[in-house]
Structure 1
Amino acid sequence: MIEKEVKIVVEQPPINQLKELLDRDLKFLNIEHQEDIYFNFIYRNFKMSDEAVRIRINDKGIELTYKGPKFNSSLKAREEITISVNDLDKTIHFLDRLGFYPVITIKKTRINYLDDSFLISLDLVDNLGQFIEIEAIHEIEDEKIHTYVNDFIRKYKIRGKLTTKSYLELLIEKNEKNSSSNSNTY
């Protein structure tokens, strides 16, 4: 499956205010608590190859996901393969035996809504901030996705910036920036 989404780093309005607006206008799906454990591979650096392997623990269970490199697109578009697993410790042990090792864990609360062909997720990501992800749930042309996103931003008076970076990339950048600024202090 090809995942196509737009991510917005939200400045205004706060997610709790946006939730009130979306509760009136869209179909509320659920609130999820997610913990994502990202892995790297001893034989290939996923940061360099723009791939990701992740275990997601959420209210529905445990998933193992491979994310391929992003396509050259104005959207965040990439191949995504997800399988359900039922034993976290055995899955981590299995990955370890193949040469995968955990590098970072990301925790978030995700509030999901459905609007026709789009999944709208309001994300509160620990140590990172507030985000909106708008994902096409069917195969839709990029232009229609951009139109929907622009209309959504206008309608809800959202201030922020669009990014094609994953939470993993954003958190690694933040940690590297904090690490380098701390190493320059005396």
Structure 2
Amino acid sequence: MIEVEVKVKADHDFVRRMILQRGAEFVCVEEQTDVYFNAPDRDFSKTDEALRVRVIDGVGEITYKGPKMDKVSKTRTEFNSPVDAQNMKSILCALGFFESGAVSKRREVYKLENFLIGIDAVFSLGNYVEVEADVSDGAGPDDIQKATESIFKFLETLGIERSASIQESYLE
């Protein structure tokens, strides 16, 4: 699956008010804890990959993210699978992977048109907004570019410029 996403630092109250005025649907609030792992044979910070075990309100999942596909967004290949988080951490460590960092956040999730909007309060880092666009599994480069542009156009309607896009992960 391709995840087309743009992350920005933003005022939560302002963004929440603006998207609700436009008809956004509140989906849920999640407490997320992410533990990131590095590989024994390569440094994911150098290869621009990520491997994490996430717990959302007590439910675990493992995610692998490939290198970013462009210089303006966080678009990348992503694979997710439900897991028993503690067992998966133990398996990864037994295979030589090691923990490289952890991030905890409270995420409010909203749906507006074809966007999934995460309003994130990241502990020790601050307030962020992540906007993700729907892209079909067979999407080509043109579809991905269109989805990325649609996110930037949406953010511009909120007064958030393209230059505000942050490519770094919460660990960087």
Residue equivalent to 1:153: 156
1:144: Cα distance to partner? 4.7
Aligned position for 2:51: 53
- Equivalent position of 1:7 in the other structure: 7
Cα distance change of structure 1 residues 97 and 78 upon mapping to structure 2, 3 Å threshold: same
CA RMSD, 1 decimal: 2.0
Question: Greater strand share, 1 or 2?
Answer: 1
Deviations 1:12-40 (A, max 9, x none): xx313432333342111111110000011
Distance in 1 (CA, whole Å) between partners of 2:115 and 2:29 is 16
Alignment partners' CA distance in 2, 1:63 and 1:111: 18
Whose helix proportion is higher, 1 or 2? 1
> 1:133-144 counterparts in 2 under 5 A?
133-139=130-136, 140-144=143-147
CA 1:95–1:16: 2 relative to 1, 3 Å: same
Asked if the contact 2:29–2:107 (Cα under 8 Å) also holds between the matched residues in 1, the reply is yes
**Alpha-carbon deviations, 1:123-156, whole Å to 9, x = none?**
11111111111111224442353244334333x3
User: Which residue of structure 1 aligns with residue 168 of structure 2?
Assistant: 165
SS at match of 2:42: coil
Residue 117 of structure 1 is matched in structure 2 by 114
Work out the CA distance in 2 between the residues paired with 1:147 and 1:99: 41
CA contact (8 A) 1:117 1:138 kept: no
Query: Partner residue of 1:42?
Result: 40
Amino acid at match of 1:162: S
Does residue 82 of the first structure (1) align with residue 84 of the second (2)?
no
Q: Where does residue 126 of structure 1 map in the other structure?
A: 123
**CA apart distance, 1:70:** 1.2
Identity of aligned residues (%): 33
Q: Which amino acid aligns with 1:157?
A: G
3-state DSSP class of the match of 1:167?
Answer: coil
| 3-state SS of paired residue (1:64) | strand
Question: What SS class does the counterpart of residue 165 from structure 2 fall into?
Answer: strand
Q: How does 1:23-34 map to 2 (within 5 A)?
A: 23-24=20-21, 25-34=23-32
Is the Cα–Cα contact under 8 Å of residues 120 and 127 in structure 2 kept in the other structure?
A: yes
Q: Using a 3 Å threshold, how does the CA distance of structure 1 residues 100 and 111 change in structure 2: closer, same or farther? A: same
In the alignment, which residue of structure 2 is the partner of 1:180? none
Q: 1:108 is aligned with what amino acid?
A: K
Q: Distance in 2 between matches of 1:60 and 1:119?
A: 22
Q: Given that residues 132 and 151 in structure 2 are in contact (C-alpha distance below 8 angstroms), is that contact kept between their aligned partners in structure 1?
A: no
Q: Which residue does 2:140 correspond to in 1?
A: none
Q: Is the 8 A contact 1:120 1:134 kept in 2?
A: yes
| Count of residues in correspondence between the two structures | 164
Residue in structure 1 matched with residue 139 of structure 2 by the alignment: none
Structure 1 CA distance, aligned partners of 2:68 and 2:160?
26
